Structure 1
């Protein structure tokens, strides 16, 4: 029974805890995430459960039947009865109560944050749900918790967890399958990139690189650079693709978070994932180190490149028209190499799905 309960408990908590940890771990590698967010907490839990769990078993196995009955009938009271058996019981009980309160508050806060994000329309993925919605979900969680405790205590909450976790079980397996597929696709995509010998034409000059370290463009500058440099570069490439017989399209959109223009070049490839080169603004915090910073400026804008799987993580701002043209061709060559590599390692249905234009970057959740 306990095994089934804990499995259901983990599954019921999994969705919002996973999203919360991903939200606060943006920019970390999978290795760092596994060590800091999974391995270390599990080791701490293992030590705590081993210490107190074995202590409780020791009492039961050595004939303390009153404690055993109390723990079975009222686990919450049995927990405090166990702590009373330790030296310095007053201090330990106070510390345990404080830890329990902090555990509940932080868990409720993270759960409310995730639920507010799920139930709100957020144009900027760097932002969370509105505060009023977070307060609403925190109150709903508190009311449900109190109601279940009044209705039947811990056992009622256990039964509710089992019920709530059942549909999540199916979703969890689908998420694991999707995550595995995404990692395999990323691996093949990186293998395809390795096959391309990138030229130096797109690389910034050392003066461009140094200037970029001390410059944080605002919306007006990004709008001007997009119109004067990005749009002509993509139009030139689109014209050449069309002249060569490709069914290429170049469209201009608007980013929901910044109201700035976005440009998307699509080149469909029959029976394979199409090529996409999308340039869109991304709001980024101004670093507090390494360069000049205006005191009133907290964020700046980057013009990042998005393909079918999301952002490629680099900024086009400051490049010349020719450098952007060369970057498009580099990316197209990498895409063809990716298709070649994926065809030799796996089936088309898994690694090269049909072309589907990616959503605006403001709607793309952090996939790192």
Structure 2
């Protein structure tokens, strides 16, 4: 092998790597100037809800603050009409209310009335919503139109109709019951006994609340996948099993939402009792809303009325907190 061959067999010398120019670094925005696109997208939700927040604050914030302040004062008619500042009494209004046995009797009556009305509303509403699934299209449309018409009826008209139905002299209910063998309801006054009177009032409340419950639950039932129900039937589940294990878990969030709203509405029933008793409800028909009204305007103790209203708000806040916790649990499961 010659020297030329040896030189040709040697590997070529490595060429030293020269680093090329570094790519330019992205410029960082200055602290005083936010990024235009991302900043606008982050502020957009707040800008959209700002008008609603301003409206809610204007309508509810001032009355709520005024109510809280008044509950720690002793405002009478002289202070209201004279424009003078009522004296501060601290928690005296709350201690007087909580120490009154009549307040606790009214609270228990309110809770019982609410439980009965909510149970009847949700039971009948769910039953009608399930029935609507099995109706033909035109019958379902007629039923929906009737529900919307009943829902849109003013409270004054609805209570007037039920007062006529339960009238002691010319009521349709007494006339129909008297046609039964051995039954005589002619001249029967349904409001002499409070439990009978609350039955009529509860019918007004349930009748007015059922349309919303039926339409909302029917909308939720339409979201239940049909293939899941069919699979459950193929596995041998009966109608109750399909509803319990397939249908109800899907509509449970909507059912809880409607139940929570019904609890709040039925806990604050006022107009139905006030109008059914001709604007002069007896003490046996007082619920917390009427009790607060009578303390504020009939007893001329506006501060006690506001204290009862705040206690009612605190009681309902527990219901709202429970509902929010259920929503959070549902979100975590999903």
Which TM-score tier does this pair reach, normalised by the shorter chain? under 0.3
Indicate the structure with greater helix content: 2
> Which structure is larger by alpha-carbon Rg, 1 or 2?
2
Indicate the structure with greater strand content: 1
Q: Between the two structures, name the one with larger relative contact order (CA 8 Å, sep ≥ 6).
A: 2
